[in-house]
């Protein structure tokens, strides 16, 4: 029965002039591209040394946008400290010998 089904299909594939019609497999639908990640949403991991240890470090991961904000805040804090002349922001006294 299976053989006769194949023969029937093969006969059905012949066109009116008697030439066989060749079949090509259907093209697979294109794979869905992953959604584009914005540069500021990309995850970036950094290894930071553990305070008090020369050998130990730990991994910290943030998005690129978060790292940009962290670095901006750090630069702002350093600028504030330099403008204050190394003074303690809480007491208003110098940090050395005061």
* 3-state DSSP assignment of residue 48: strand
Q: Please provide the average confidence, as pLDDT, over all residues in the chain.
A: 75
Mean pLDDT, each 10-residue run in order, the chain (98 residues): 51 52 64 80 93 90 96 92 73 56
Total domains in the chain come to: 1
Helices (DSSP H) in the chain: which residue ranges?
Answer: 2-12, 64-83
Would 4 be classed as within a structural domain? no
Would 78 be classed as within a structural domain? yes
CB pairs under 8 A, 24+ apart, for 37-41? 39/64, 40/64, 40/65, 40/68, 41/65
Would 27 be classed as within a structural domain? no
> What residues make up the domain containing 63?
39-89
Would 48 be classed as within a structural domain? yes
Give the model's pLDDT for residue 96.
56
Instruction: Please give the DSSP secondary-structure letter assigned to residue 42.
Output: S
Taken in order 82, 88, 93, 98, the sign of the CA dihedral is negative
């Amino acid at each position: 029965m299976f053989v006769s089904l194949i023969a029937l299909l093969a006969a059905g594939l012949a066109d009116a002039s008697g030439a066989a019609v060749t079949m090509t497999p259907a093209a697979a639908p294109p794979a869905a591209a992953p959604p584009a990640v914005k540069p500021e949403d990309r995850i970036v991991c950094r290894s930071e040394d553990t305070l008090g240890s020369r050998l130990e470090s730990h991994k910290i991961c943030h998005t690129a946008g978060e790292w940009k904000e962290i670095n901006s805040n750090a630069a702002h804090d350093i600028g504030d400290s330099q403008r204050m002349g190394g003074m303690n922001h809480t007491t208003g006294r110098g940090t050395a010998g005061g």
